[in-house]
A and B are shown apart, each in its own frame.
Chain A
Amino acid sequence: MTRNTRILMSVIYWAFIVYLFVPLALMVTMGFKDSKFIGFPIRSWTLEWYATVIQDTQVLSVFGYSMTIAIASTVLSLIIGTWVAVFLGPNQFRGKAIIFALACLPAVIPGIISAIALRIFARLIDIEPGMFAIILGHTVHNVPFVALVVMARLSTQPKSHIEAARDLGADSIVAFFRVTLPYLKPALIGAGIFCMLLSFDDFVRAFFLGGYQPTLPVLIFAKLRSGMSPEINAISTIVLIMTAILGLWAERSMRRLNKGS
């Protein structure tokens, strides 16, 4: 590789980073602008919009609502996803490839179609649009991600772990809870945080499966349709910071997968 191409590539990399960060940086900056008008230039600065947002009871309740949905669907996704992984990982049986493909299906279907199919399905099994429908929708979407991460981790577990436990008198259930589950822990933490982010940030499923109470992305969307305002910037900035912290935590936990025992 010549020197020039190398320099060119590093320029492209940094240009790409600028493309990723500049819009977000602008959005954060606008949240501190002392005017209702979104746009340049900025003449004076204020924290007023953050004060407004923090005192807004609607925003707070929507935040709690989104959080509840995220936590509930994460717990469900972890249980079902791990179970799917433990079933599909080590077992060999006829038709496994088809079952595996079907298990991954919700992760590859375009978002709008998945949301609409789930909306129709919720009607069929008589679930009203609202919290429970959204939790179901997010769980369907998240299970494949959990299953894939857990399967990857499971494939690195030495067979001798389980055999030793069995020799010492543990049955399958005890061996799973005492040996396999602790081994899976970093994968489960990583996948769990990832699920929370997916659920918390999801718009399309929450939009179609939700009732009158909006989730946070749906609320921001509704506010945006009636025009930009610095309050939206303040809410978005808070979401951005939380997301980044959670994401870094997930990344840290997943990194350990490569090192661990």
Chain B
Amino acid sequence: MAQAETQRADLQEPSTPAGRMTFWGALMRNGVYQAVSTTLFKSQRRQFWILASLPLFWIFFANLGPIVEMFWIGFLDSYPPKVGYEPQFTLANWAAFFQDRVFIIPFFRTLAFSFIFTAITLLITYPVAYFLAKHVSRKNQLLFLLLLLIPFWVGEIVRTYAIMILLGNNGAVNLALKSLGLIERPIPFMYTGFSLGVGIIYLTALYMLLPLYSALEKLPDNYLEAAADLGAGAWTRFRRITLPLSKEGIASGCTLVFLISTGYYATPVLLGGPRSTVFAETIAGFFHVAGDQWPMGAAFSSIMLIATLGVTGLFLKLMGRDGKGMMR
């Protein structure tokens, strides 16, 4: 409030006789500025459109433009344009997807992997979020939360590398297992679905944790107390109160983690092996390895976008209706 008062005093300054002219006072008394300002804001409607101009331009140009363009290129037989050749409309790029196992298998593998990783992330982070929201005192919450946040600020590549060091044949896990006498030879963790999962969960867990935490934090304690008074056991209270009331957090966490984990490219390249090739690598191939097959890559990207948004849309609809879809 104090801030507002000083501002009010500042605004009055130009009208005081001995007062020095502030920048803003001078600006507002300037005839040119006055003329421009009154023309610009002549009506509410005009003011609205001036305010809307840049956001609407940005949203349609930069947000929607690339997606629409990607869909469009997927229907052309050649792109980038060559001199003296007019690209023709074709459905071949889309059809190619359904004709080759080399494409379909990574596609379904990506969806299945992302689904499994999302489920595991939910199982791991739910108790963590619950502990943080309900069992840590207000004073310590910030500190405990910061401990979780710090590793997540570090970028994808650095954290992927950290996982490579952890799981390598001479990595910490193998060393620990060996010195405990549990194994004689190092277990080849790397370049499998397992190492990829460890990496992806490591990268995405926070996107699950934060929505869960904020949903659980809002859960009133007295609901649980009332249920306990009425004789509900711990499991019943969890199933009938905690879970339904944290539904929103679960929904947004799962959506985020699913979408983000389908989109990683570098992590599968570094951590995954030939048996865990994901669709992102297939798509990237059309742009880098196999030369310029942009239309094919564009069509495949479009298929993946439709699939991922479709899956999450379906999931949100299931969650939105009554949440039973989640609990069954």
Contact = CB atoms under 8 A, between A and B. Distances in A.
B47 A13 contact: no
Contacts of B146: 248, 251
A13 B11 contact: no
A75 interface: no
A116 interface: yes
A179 B128 CA distance: 41
B171 A40 contact: yes
Interface residues of B, number: 98
Contact of B7 (A115, A119, A179): A179
Contacts of A243: 153-155
A16 B301 contact: no
B264 A24 contact: no
Q: Is the interface of B mostly helix, strand, loop or mixed?
A: helix
Q: Is the interface of A mostly helix, strand, loop or mixed?
A: helix
B234 A1 contact: yes
Nearest to B237: A1
Contact of A202 (B1, B11, B155, B294): B155
B194 to A, nearest CB: 14
B69 A117 contact: yes
B73 interface: yes
Given A40-B171, A164-B8, A10 B154 contact: no
Interface residues of A, number: 101
Nearest to A119: B287
Given A40-B170, A109-B259, A247-B153, A165 B55 contact: no
Contact of A10 (B55, B135, B164, B255): B135
Contacts of B155: 197, 200-203, 217, 239, 243
Interface stretch (B56-64, B84-92, B96-104): B56-64
A130 interface: no
Nearest to A98: B59
A1 B12 CA distance: 59
Contacts of B318: none
Interface string B40-63: 010000011001101110111011
A83 B55 contact: yes
B245 interface: no
B132 to A, nearest CB: 7
A103 B55 contact: yes
B78 interface: no
Interface string B146-180: 11111111111111011111101111100100000
B65 interface: yes
A94 B273 CA distance: 50
Interface in B235-292: 255-256, 259-260, 262-266, 269-270, 280, 283-284, 287
Interface stretch (A46-54, A57-65, A84-92): A84-92
Nearest to B57: A80
Interface string B1-19: 1111001101110000000
A20 B58 contact: no
A99 B55 CA distance: 9
A97 interface: no
Contact of B154 (A12, A87, A240): A240
A132 interface: no
Nearest to A246: B153
B172 A12 contact: no
A114 interface: yes
Contacts of B263: 109-114, 204
A210 B240 CA distance: 51
A170 B166 contact: no
16 contacts: A9-B130, A10-B135, A13-B144, A26-B165, A87-B55, A99-B55, A105-B67, A109-B305, A112-B264, A112-B280, A120-B66, A204-B263, A208-B284, A217-B158, A221-B270, A261-B2
